[in-house]
Amino acid sequence: MFQLTHVIATHTGKLTGQMIRRLRLGGGTNLPGSLARRVAPDVLRTLSATLPQGVVLLSGTNGKTTTSRMLADMLQAAGLQVLHNRAGANLIEGLTTTALAATDWRGRTKAELGLFEVDEAALPQAIDETAPRLVVIHNLFRDQLDRYGEIDTVARAWRAALATLPATATVLLNADDPAVAALGAGLTAQVCYYGLDDAQHATGAVAHIADSQFCRQCGQRYTYPLAFYAHIGHYHCPACGHQRPAAQVALARLELHGAAGSQLYLRYPGGALELALPLPGLYNAYNASAAFAAALALGLSPAVARNSLEQFSAAFGRIERVNLGGTPLLIALIKNPVGASETVRMLLNADRSTASNLHLLISINDRLADGTDVSWLWDADFEILAGHVAHVTVTGTRADDMAVRLKYAGLEPQRLTTIPALDQALDHARKQLPAGTTLFALPTYTAMLELRALLAAQGWVQHFWEE
């Protein structure tokens, strides 16, 4: 059964986690797993195998945390005990830490099903170690090229890993992302697609930041009858005929109702339903569609999935509303060009009355977890902000780069203040704000953690590991 090394590994991990939290060193979401893996390198493999309902992995560039939280809510609503890396620690050490936390001192787990969001680069190893019953791949955009390398390299590694899955496993793919959809060809595992079928969300042309515009089979440029954002849309190859696969779970109609949320009409094999999603923006509708399709693939009832989506509240910092003693603050994470462009577009559509009068706090860091290369700021569409901004405060280790970006995007310099220190920047941004106006904060990942820590110290929010 359980080897001694695994018991020692479990103890090492659990003790480390308790100490980190007791000494108030932070959330302790990585180190325990890292230490346990030194004692027993296959501890995650062993723990995964003890889960009676198996493991679900979810990966992609954008939307991992939100989508996996949506799915976790559905699974819990269906009465399952779910092991989930909620805090977003999605490297292999983070997965191991999560698995250890739900394990008792004798190495037995209380959970029935493991649900892990997984870093793009860590997915192949996670597939190997957890032998998942379901893998969801959401999208693939350029992100931290200094860390991940080219997106073609990422896609190749994914493909090799997915090819090892047996016929009992299911792979759920976004039909609208050509690089992701192409992963489904020739797999032993069962393949299922989800996607958007509502033509009203098509824009005129494929965006300049589209990464995968070329046919995965013959290299010709795809034709896009419908382009939704970046390289996401309905595409076909004029040369070889390769085309977007039909989506079994389809978002047949989507009504975006600004900051309040959206109305989704979903079709699936054997039925259709309508739901009110309390999150704004096209990308969150995609997240909900992916979570819904995953729930059906796991055998959940559509009604349970709908009810939890309608009551969903987003993960810290992704889209979060905070009340700063009467000042409404909306935090939306930005971490790569596609996500940043979609977030900015969401802000502009959020509230027509304030859309030309936005107050922003943009915090750009270049720490390891953000990506040390800030070139991506130039791939994001900040141009659409011009003429819609009352005031922007830029902060972070790369505040100066962001200020230059906004100047070249066409913002008047007098609407722009650069304050590298976050606490002073937040104070300044609040002082610019007319009463009742929302302050929109757009931080990179580590900037978001800093902002959350600052807000927690001021008593407005909880620490993330307490959520």
Q: Which residues bind another protein (CB under 8 A)?
A: 142, 145-146, 149-152, 208, 210, 213-214, 219, 221, 337, 372-379, 400-401, 403-405, 407-408, 413, 416, 418
- Our CB check for another protein shows the closer of 381 and 450 to be 381
**Please, what is the minimum distance in Å from the beta carbon of residue 151 to another protein?**
7
**Please, what is the minimum distance in Å from the beta carbon of residue 448 to another protein?**
21
Interaxial angle between packed helices 92-101 and 31-39, expressed in degrees from 0 to 180 and rounded to the nearest 10: 90
**Helices (H), ranges, 251-363:** 282-297, 302-310, 337-350
CB 8 within 8 A of CB 39: yes
- Our CB check for another protein shows the closer of 143 and 198 to be 143
DSSP bridge pairs for 271: 268
What is the distance of C-alpha 392 from the center of its chain? 25
What is the distance of C-alpha 160 from the center of its chain? 23
- Our CB check for another protein shows the closer of 207 and 309 to be 207
- Our CB check for another protein shows the closer of 28 and 337 to be 337
Side chain identity at residue 121, one-letter code: A
Has 192 been labeled as part of a binding site?
Answer: no
Q: Which residues are catalytic?
A: 373
Has 237 been labeled as part of a binding site?
Answer: yes
The set of residues, in sequence order, having a beta carbon less than 8 Å from that of 260 and lying 6+ positions away, is 278, 280
- Rounded to whole angstroms, how far apart are CA atoms 359 and 372? 27
CB 361 within 8 A of CB 425: yes
> What burial letters (b/e) apply to 256-270, b meaning 16+ CB within 10 Å?
beebebbebbbbbee
**Please, what is the minimum distance in Å from the beta carbon of residue 207 to another protein?**
11
- Our CB check for another protein shows the closer of 11 and 147 to be 147
Has 240 been labeled as part of a binding site?
Answer: yes
H/E stretch holding 324: strand 319-324
Strands (E), 140-221: 170-174, 190-196
Side chain identity at residue 368, one-letter code: L
**Please, what is the minimum distance in Å from the beta carbon of residue 80 to another protein?**
41
**Please, what is the minimum distance in Å from the beta carbon of residue 413 to another protein?**
7
**Please, what is the minimum distance in Å from the beta carbon of residue 244 to another protein?**
19
Torsion of CA 287, 296, 244, 115, to 10 degrees: 50
- Our CB check for another protein shows the closer of 54 and 337 to be 337
As annotated, the binding site includes 215, 218, 237, 240
